[in-house]
Amino acid sequence: MNQQNTDPGSDAARNGFGPVDREQRIGPRPLDRPAVDPSTAAVFGRPAGVEGAFSPTAAAPVSIGELKTAPPTPESLAGAFGRPPGQRDVVLQRPPAVAGGGSLWSDDTTPDPWRDPAAGAVIGPPAVERTPEGDAKSAKSAPGSLLSLPEVLFGRRVKPLALGVLGLVALLVGAAGGLVGWFVARSSDGLTSDVTLAQAQAAKERPAGSVSDIAARVRPAVVSIEVKLEQGGGTGSGVLIDGAGYIVTNWHVVTLEGRADASAKITTVFTDGTRAEAKLVGTDPKTDLAVIKVQVTNPTVLQFGNSDDLQVGDSVIAVGSPLGLTDTVTEGIVSALHRPVVAGGDNGEAPITYDAIQTDAAVNQGNSGGPLVDSTGALVGINSAIRSSAGNTGSVGLGFAIPANDAKRIAEDLIRDGQVKHAELGANVRSVSAETAEGAQVVNVTDGGAAAAAGIIEGDVIRKVGNRQVRNAAELTVAVRQHQPGDVVPVVLARQGQELTVQVTLRSD
């Protein structure tokens, strides 16, 4: 409440309060109480019948009847926690002594610090029973009884006889163990023992197109060929190319390089060990190819691939029986293409000449006639020869295979007609290399042959046949055999320092 001193001339006097003394206090002004909202009053107002801020007087107590008392205390609990006998105090705390200044906690004249809460904390001796001084010294110096060895070992005293028997038994057991060990050591090698080694599961992945996948599909179609004569024999490989049992192989495998006759026995051995006798269908000594036939049920055959699509560096796999080791698989790449290979021709026969695929897949004697397949498992060549250094007849990474396109055409002719006709130029040539001319020089011309009819004369150097470049005599042979008898092909030759092109109509050999 505000206080204000006024005088007769003040505003308070002029407002009707009249003159007042300076020490007189001014009363409070009337309060302006705003109207209370009924809803607010219903929520925050006093309950009905309550006039002040305090609770109204309590009503008269209501009788609740007879109270149920607790059951009597068990005798054991009463003895443990009840008052001593004869004690009738109302409260558990005992009153202080009336006179003499006795202890609040004990009637004993000597106060007990352990029971006096006001006692100070003092570190004293252990809470043990007090003994006379002399008894303490004697108890401290008197030694205790020591445990004997039987008590330490067995926890109780044992008779000496029992200890002796036990020692004798231990001695007998040790002697028996030593005797058994000595016998085992004398009867067996000290470096050997029974052992079971752990084995891990194979984690090698063999996806489609891998070498293992291709080999699994190709090997059942590859056979080992055994040729026996009355005196001697030989082995090689072959590949099934038709469900009727036709097998393509090398001429030198089934004829033992021309030494075999009609009495030769040809036997094929499949990868599962099945043996079947084979019959000779036809041979082509000029390209070292032959076809035999066996009687088998539902054989696995290989499909021909297009050898013209091969490129240097392509992966290839060779399968066969090198050195008599049947069912052998080796891997490599195409090392070169269109590599003319010439072999044989020692006994007055026409030499073997073909346009070979060179590979570094390991091939040895016995691989002859086996397949060379590409990364899809298609047949792209027939392994036929190897090139070795002087004094070495093993593989040095130079193997040669007959292209599959040539093998397919020749095999079809042999199966259909039993023989093969090749295109022939009708001229004997030799390889030459000079600054002005490089190719196959004509040594002589066969009368009535294709070369004589086209006007080719002795001394001419043939440098190109069709689209095939000719750098030596072998390349001329393979270039001519790429065509069929009756084909007309342009032949580029050098004569007396001039280049001529003549049209040659090829004839059959």
Q: Which residues are catalytic?
A: 252, 288, 368
Sorted by sequence, the CB contacts under 8 Å of residue 354 that are 6+ apart come out as 287, 288, 340, 341, 384, 402, 403, 406, 478
Sorted by sequence, the CB contacts under 8 Å of residue 128 that are 6+ apart come out as none
Taken in order 40, 42, 43, 48, the sign of the CA dihedral is positive
CB 410 within 8 A of CB 289: yes
What count of Cα atoms within 13 Å lies in the side-chain half-sphere of residue 85? 1
H, E, C per residue of 150-181 = HHHHHCCCCCHHHHHHHHHHHHHHHHHHHHHH
What count of Cα atoms within 13 Å lies in the side-chain half-sphere of residue 126? 3
Longest Cα–Cα distance of the chain, Å, equals 174
Cα–Cα distance measured from residue 368 to residue 344, given in angstroms and rounded to the nearest whole number:
15
Cα–Cα distance measured from residue 71 to residue 486, given in angstroms and rounded to the nearest whole number:
136
Bridge partners for 178 per DSSP:
none
What is the DSSP secondary structure assignment for residue 18, as one 8-state letter?
A: -
Cα–Cα distance measured from residue 404 to residue 418, given in angstroms and rounded to the nearest whole number:
19
* Residue 288: both structure tokens together: 């070292």
Sorted by sequence, the CB contacts under 8 Å of residue 368 that are 6+ apart come out as 236, 237, 249, 250, 252, 253, 320, 383, 384, 385
Cα–Cα distance measured from residue 155 to residue 83, given in angstroms and rounded to the nearest whole number:
49
Helix (H, G, I), strand (E, B) or coil at 371: strand
Taken in order 289, 293, 294, 298, the sign of the CA dihedral is positive
Taken in order 208, 210, 216, 222, the sign of the CA dihedral is positive
| C-alpha separations of 478 from 174, 334, 474, 491 in Å | 90, 19, 7, 14
CB atoms within 10 A of CB 46: 10
| CA 27 to chain centroid | 104
| CA 147 to chain centroid | 66
